[in-house]
Amino acid sequence: MALLPTRASLFMLHGRGKFSPRFCWPSRVPCSFYSQASREENSDYDLVIVGGGIVGAATAYKIANLPRSNPLKICVVEKEKSLAMHQTGRNSGVIHSGIYYKPGSLKAKLCVEGLDLMYDFCQKHGIPTQKVGKLIVAVTDEEIPGLEKLYESGTQNKVRDLEMIDAKGIKEREPHCQGVKALLSPHTGIVDYALVTQAMAQNVKDKNGDVLLNFEVNGFHSGGEDRLVITAKDGRKVHCKGAIVCAGLQSDRLAVLSHCKSTPKIVPFRGDYLRLKPAKRHLVRGNIYPVPDPRFPFLGVHFTPRPDGDLWLGPTAVLSFAREGYGIYDISLKDTWEMLTFPGLLKLGSRYMKFGLGEMYRNFYWPAQVKQLQRYIPEITVDDVERAHAGNRAQAIGSDGDLVDDFIIDTAEDELGSKIVHVRNAPSPAATSSLAIANFIVDTVKDKFKFL
């Protein structure tokens, strides 16, 4: 509540159909979905969801399936040519169990609920998941207290079947991994979240909703009592009674468009992954994670199997100079200028300079990253890995330089604001938690949107 006390009201959120996908690069989402099947001529809706990542798609899915006598007309608008092109399609694909998060926090609650909802959804919609489990490994005795803290928080968060195992237990599960103790989370899994997003959107379409692609929202305008007009960069318009904005890396910019405060601001942190070459794929069976440094919001470089049989190593966490640029040298002058003139980032930078420089070094000089990985799997060499994918995390930062850790819903208090709700911060594990977040969003906005 304290973040945006003046003009905007802010809530800290604490609190079937099977398809056979045909895959296409880059989003691994079925190409067939992107035929312009949407009925763009029908631009009048009850509710518009802005953003076709997993949070927007899950929210649309949840609302499209609310039991009602007169179904709502829903539309998802997405600026890209496909859904899930940003965080959702570029993450580790882990279904997290809820170990790390502060007991009692909304993040913890929604992750634990979200895991079950995600497995259920995937089963119902024919999306493959694998419960490959996860080991958080202490390599030295000094790391054991951190591991025990995680066991405590996981237990308080009601994560099921957590178990502390010793060096022998580690070898039984991961014969090539070394460590003195590990926390085993057997229900942690993997999935392709782009496919999940696709299935959610397909269900919305099946319920008579629309999905408009290449629709880059550039304005919100009041259309009179109970009406809102949303405009796109190319001149298209949709009309509705209310909108929920789930714009990930652009969430602060869209919030400002409807008169919310400019902070918290999104600062992108790129995560680069390496890939283990197929000949060495046998070295790792499930997820292997380090004991994270509690001072940082990122979980550390880890080993993660992919549903397609690949094995990813990463992600790093370095400041990105382009919110939606995924190459090492991608720079957006607009994004960089905004970051460098944001006092919050300068304050954050002065606090974490050493960590940041270390991450940058490992990011550019990958033998240094391999050295970190060898702490867990000593057999891995530089020749066994190659550069893979990258994803940018939308990290919300307050003007005081603090990293915003929990989910945030924000809404301006003027007439326009009464029709728009912004999800301003949906950090990891928001893909895992997406269906639980959607439930929370619906419960939160019900008072505001009487038509729901």
Question: Which positions touch ligand FAD (CB under 6 A)?
Answer: 50-56, 77-80, 85-88, 90-94, 96, 215-217, 246-250, 254, 271, 315, 391-393, 426-432
- In the complex, the smallest distance separating the C-beta of residue 144 from ligand FAD, rounded to whole angstroms, is 25
- In the complex, the smallest distance separating the C-beta of residue 423 from ligand FAD, rounded to whole angstroms, is 6
Toward ligand FAD, which CB reaches closer, 183 or 213? 213
Toward ligand FAD, which CB reaches closer, 179 or 429? 429
Q: Which residue is nearest to ligand FAD (CB)?
A: 53
Toward ligand FAD, which CB reaches closer, 78 or 335? 78
- In the complex, the smallest distance separating the C-beta of residue 166 from ligand FAD, rounded to whole angstroms, is 27
Toward ligand FAD, which CB reaches closer, 298 or 449? 298
- In the complex, the smallest distance separating the C-beta of residue 317 from ligand FAD, rounded to whole angstroms, is 9
Toward ligand FAD, which CB reaches closer, 3 or 317? 317
Cα–Cα distance, 437 to 112 (Å, whole number): 11
- In the complex, the smallest distance separating the C-beta of residue 54 from ligand FAD, rounded to whole angstroms, is 5
Toward ligand FAD, which CB reaches closer, 181 or 436? 436
Please name every residue paired with 304 in a beta bridge, in sequence order, or none if there are none. 312
- In the complex, the smallest distance separating the C-beta of residue 441 from ligand FAD, rounded to whole angstroms, is 11
Q: Are 214 and 393 in contact (CB under 8 A)?
A: no
- In the complex, the smallest distance separating the C-beta of residue 430 from ligand FAD, rounded to whole angstroms, is 3
- In the complex, the smallest distance separating the C-beta of residue 220 from ligand FAD, rounded to whole angstroms, is 11
Toward ligand FAD, which CB reaches closer, 8 or 243? 243
Toward ligand FAD, which CB reaches closer, 291 or 430? 430
